[in-house]
Chain A
Amino acid sequence: MNFLESVRIAMRALNANKVRSALTMLGVIIGVAAVILLVAIGTGVQDEVTGSIEGLGSNLIFVFAGNFEEGGSSGGGGIAIRKQFTIDDADMLQRRLGPEELVVPLVQGPAILKAGNRTMRSTLAAGNEHADAVFTAEYLGGRAYRRSEVAAASRVAVIGSTVRDRLFPHVDPVGRQMSVNGQRFTVIGHVASQGGSLTGDQDNQIYIPVTTAQRLLGSRDVSSIIVRASDPDKIDELQAQIRQVFTPSFGEEFSVFTQEQTLGILSQLLGTLTVMLAGIAGISLLVGGIGIMNIMLVSVSERTREIGIRKAVGAKTYDILSQFVIEAVVLSVAGGMVGIALGWSGALVLQQWVPTEVTAWAVALAFFFSAAVGVFFGVYPAYRASRLDPIVALRYE
């Protein structure tokens, strides 16, 4: 009997027992969808965060509240941030470092944008009048916000290229109104796409005065303070100076990193997150596999008479084995494909709330793992089935 015939027999058997087939697939579907979705969230968050740092200018030094350095008192297990920086801290740093170096207090946060009947999810990136030292995008039209607008917490915004394309397609956005988290803003400028970075996520950003952002988010904290060195050779010296400035008020509870260090730490942290999410998803895939084995085992004993009948009319060990293995493979591959479709569309839907990015490796991994799980857990029951004595199988009650 040839392989094609085995496939046909297996398909017929699956078709004759639709409910059982669907139940078997369910475990794989959920497992695969979970892997793809969770990895998509992990990757999406990671890319958005690292992308937003990579898209910044050069010669930057980052100052964060909390001790992230190795061996730090609040490092290790979890980082407890006791005290956040404020704009006043940034102002003080600016005074101490002198006008050569540019100090920017940075606030980041989520934003829901509306213009007309269009709505989108975006990110706020807020700084002071020196912000263009940090955000280096090229202006396509309009202007940056001014010192007076920072002082007055004006509701003005410069928009990234993704925002422009979605909210103001085919028109000049400068001077137009939009709502940010329910507040009316005027668009005063727009910048070119910064393509070439990992994701292009920083194109989906709006740039507003840091004071405005604090009001919008209802907080006096700043996410970090960024210093641009006037000369790359001064970076080490500046790092030391910044430590001196904040040690009296913050003790050890702050961290000073260069751009490379920050990127390294963040991708490590977020990478761990992604791996954890993938691990959780992997467990659900394994549970799905055990589900397959369970149902295959049950189905083998349920179908002992069928095996007996097939053997009585001439089925060989190989025929029964291949039928059951093919059944398991078909179920897990079909389940894998449905799971991919489900995980993928789930990631697209979730994009309204969290950044997600479906990665080829997660899809491939989930798919091959589900196929492997199906074969692995399907083969043992199939092997048992194929070895049954015809008379034992026929007499089975």
Chain B
Amino acid sequence: MPDEIHNPGATGVCADGRRAVLRAAGVSKRYILDEIVVNALNGVDLSICDGEMLAIMGPSGSGKSTLMHIIGLLDRPTEGTVVVEEEDVSRMAPNQLAAVRNKRIGFVFQAFNLLARTSALANVELPLVYAGMSGAARAERAKAALEQVGLGDRLGHHPSQLSGGQQQRVAIARALVTDPSIVLADEPTGNLDSRSGIEVMVILQQLNEQGITVVLVTHDESVARHAQRIVHIADGRVVREEILTERIFAADRMKLLDAEENLS
């Protein structure tokens, strides 16, 4: 049961007077495939508030990933606008969008999306490379990010030499290394076993506690309940929104899991 209905919508009025890091207003996305029109999104209004942990939840095919790609500036809406840090990005040229992504947005994908045959350190350095950073400072920052996700001892490992959970942690390090306003995670635990999944959620919640805005995209209620707020979407529309009074803390689940394993 929803504890409270609240939708800041496109107006960007967040609880406690917080500002919106990102706003989507009237966003629609239409795909036309051989005369079949797919309305992946139909007029979505959404505000993401500074420092919150938000889950976008809905069944398969409801348009979650499409929405994430649009608010992550990887894709353009057919209609509607996206505003990042009070800057309207709807009319920006591809290279300007790349700069905004680089500076403000970190991505975590279900399929990790690391560069193959490239060390963890080089993967994490990648956004800094494109930010124009170089030399020792860049390597230092990438190393610090990897240490933050508990991989300080795996700097030289290639993705193929890391477990799925470790790869996803490298991806999280890459997302946070530029100190972005917002980290977008699309089914970050989708390809992981339960322990690795919990580890990833622990890290995402830690990041959020440090003040980074985190958006989780998932079809899985038990994942979504790690957030503070859930936006439910179906058929490309926001259908419901809830603010969680009882969220799940991944660190607690981890302790429980450890205890269970010690018993058996």
Contact = CB atoms under 8 A, between A and B. Distances in A.
Contact of A314 (B98, B114, B116, B117): B98
B60 interface: no
A310 B130 contact: yes
A234 interface: no
B74 A390 contact: yes
A312 B74 contact: yes
Contacts of B134: 2, 5
A261 B102 CA distance: 73
A316 interface: yes
A305 B98 CA distance: 16
Interface in A269-316: 305-306, 308-316
Interface residues of B, number: 29
Contacts of B131: 314
Contacts of B72: 312
A389 B98 CA distance: 11
Contacts of B109: 394
A318 B114 CA distance: 21
A312 B108 CA distance: 10
Q: Is the interface of A mostly helix, strand, loop or mixed?
A: helix
Contact of A316 (B99, B103, B115): B99
A166 B260 CA distance: 89
Interface in B106-139: 107, 109, 113-118, 122, 126-127, 129-132, 134
A318 B130 CA distance: 11
A394 B107 CA distance: 12
A8 to B, nearest CB: 8
A9 B129 contact: yes
B101 A12 contact: no
Given A5-B129, A16-B117, A394-B113, A313 B101 contact: yes
A313 B127 contact: yes
A319 interface: yes
A394 B74 contact: yes
Contact of A1 (B69, B103, B132, B174): B132
B74 A309 contact: no
B154 to A, nearest CB: 18
Given A313-B107, A314-B98, A314-B102, A319 B130 contact: yes
Interface in B153-174: 174
B4 interface: no
Given A1-B132, A314-B131, A390-B74, A309 B95 contact: no
Interface of B: 69, 72, 74-75, 94-95, 98-99, 101-103, 107, 109, 113-118, 122, 126-127, 129-132, 134, 174, 178
19 contacts: A1-B132, A2-B132, A2-B134, A16-B116, A16-B118, A309-B114, A312-B74, A312-B101, A314-B99, A314-B103, A314-B131, A314-B178, A315-B98, A316-B95, A316-B98, A390-B75, A391-B69, A391-B74, A391-B75
Given A306-B116, A312-B72, 13 more contacts: A5-B134, A16-B117, A309-B115, A311-B74, A312-B101, A313-B101, A314-B127, A314-B178, A316-B94, A316-B99, A316-B130, A317-B98, A391-B69
